[in-house]
Amino acid sequence: MAVKRLKFLFLSIPEYLSQRLNRFFFAIILSLLSITIGTLGFHWIEDYTWIEALYMSVITISTVGFGEVHPLSNFGKIFTSIFIIYNLAVFTFLLSIITSFIMEGELKNVLQNYFLLKKVNQLENHIILCGFGKNGRKVAEELIKNEIEFVAIDKQKETLQGTHYQALSKKILFIEGDATDDEILQMAGVLKAKAIITTLPKDSDSVYIALSAKQMNPKIKVIARANEPSSESKLLRAGADKLVRPDQISGTYMANLITRPEITEFLDIISGMGELKLEEFYFEEFKEEYKNQTIKDLHIRENTGVMILGFKDDVRGFIINPSPNTILGTGDIMIVLGTTEQLQKFASLYTNKNYKPK
């Protein structure tokens, strides 16, 4: 019971650490049990007072060599001999555990995990990133660049090794564990997260994560990496909202470099790799005086230089190259294209959004 309570105190720390903690507290319990047995034995066998019996237990366990409170009987000597042998084993076990915690840095790991999970527990509307391989690290870089809070989960913390990721590690809340474990997802704050991205190499693991995440938080958005075409339907049935096929995307991109080189170059420019950038602005972010106005009345192009490429609403979906009479209404999203300077000017003039270059 004591071990379970302490495990809860440490916010359900990873299994490998909880096992070490269990051993540590088991050794503590054995030591307390030893003192209790010694106190009871000396009290009943030698008729010591409770204080004298406790004193005898402590000096016997510690082997400090102090004399007995009163001369021991033959039965008391036998009990003391057995008691000393038992405590040598307990002391050796406890010493090995303490040495492991101090010398091997396990206590430091426990404390680091405690403070890490305390930070995670304070997050809301964050992203959970499952898997920190090549794709996962690229996702992390983009989230960091866009200043989006996220928690990364991977079985091996060694994925953070390397000069580049050691520098990034200070900005990454990293949980070492299996993302298919419901307890690990709860540690990552799945109940309060707004989205979960799984980049794991096994589609079966992604299916399980999608099922678990949706069961624990039906509102969470699940974006999953699909490695095999046959897994796509399973991932969608499991609750994945969007699927990404990295091999398909990279193959299509390489082919387009040959078949549509200029279009591909243009898409690279507007995707953030060049001077021009695409940005989305929500209706709620606009200042009150600009809400429920037509594009023509807003004079956006004249005032800022940005180009409105599209709208998205709940009824018609995406509207490419909207007409000047399109009204900016509740729930709409405006997609604009411009330079960083133009986008900053647009955000400052029309919205309450603090736009930062990405």
Q: Where are the beta strands (DSSP E) in 199-244?
A: 221-225, 242-244
Residue 105 is predicted with a pLDDT of: 56
Residue 258: is its pLDDT beyond 70? yes
CATH of region 123-249: 3.40.50.720
Residue of 39, 44, 14 lying closest to 178 (CA atoms): 14
Tokens of 275: 């001077």
Count the neighbouring beta carbons within 10 Å of the beta carbon of residue 263: 10
How far CA 139 is from CA of 2, 144, 198, in Å, comes to 40, 9, 10
Cβ-based burial of 26 (10 A; exposed 0-12, middle 13-18, buried ≥19): middle
Residue 1: is its pLDDT beyond 60? no
Q: Where are the beta strands (DSSP E) in the chain?
A: 127-130, 150-154, 173-176, 195-198, 221-225, 242-244, 276-282, 307-313, 317-320, 333-339
Q: What is the mean pLDDT of residues 232-239?
A: 90
Which residue ranges make up each domain of the chain? 2-109, 123-249, 275-350
Residue 169 is predicted with a pLDDT of: 56
Q: What is the mean pLDDT of residues 196-213?
A: 92
Q: Is the pTM of this model over 0.85?
A: no
- Give residues with Cβ within 8 angstroms of 215, minimum separation 6: none
Residue 4 is predicted with a pLDDT of: 38
Task: Determine the Cα–Cα distance for residues 358 and 342; give it in Å rounded to an integer.
Answer: 14
Tokens of 14: 């990873």
Residue 322: is its pLDDT beyond 80? yes
Domain 2-109 top-level CATH class:
mainly alpha
8 Å CB contact between 113 and 121: no
Residue 165: is its pLDDT beyond 60? no
Domain 275-350 top-level CATH class:
alpha beta
Cβ-based burial of 249 (10 A; exposed 0-12, middle 13-18, buried ≥19): exposed
Render 52-95 in DSSP notation, one character per residue.
HHHHHHHHHHHT--PPPSSPPPHHHHHHHHHHHHHHHHHHHHHH
- Give residues with Cβ within 8 angstroms of 232, minimum separation 6: 226, 243
Q: Which residue has the higher pLDDT, 275 or 177?
A: 177
Residue of 52, 27, 30, 28 lying closest to 42 (CA atoms): 52
Most confident of 83-87, 147-151, 271-275: 147-151
Least confident of 113-117, 143-147, 243-247, 296-300: 113-117
Q: What is the mean pLDDT of residues 160-185?
A: 72
- Model confidence at 208, in pLDDT bands (50, 70, 90)? very high
Residue 113 is predicted with a pLDDT of: 67
Write the pLDDT tens digit of every residue in 63-90: 766 667 777 888 878 888 888 888 888 7
Q: Which residue has the higher pLDDT, 136 or 272?
A: 136
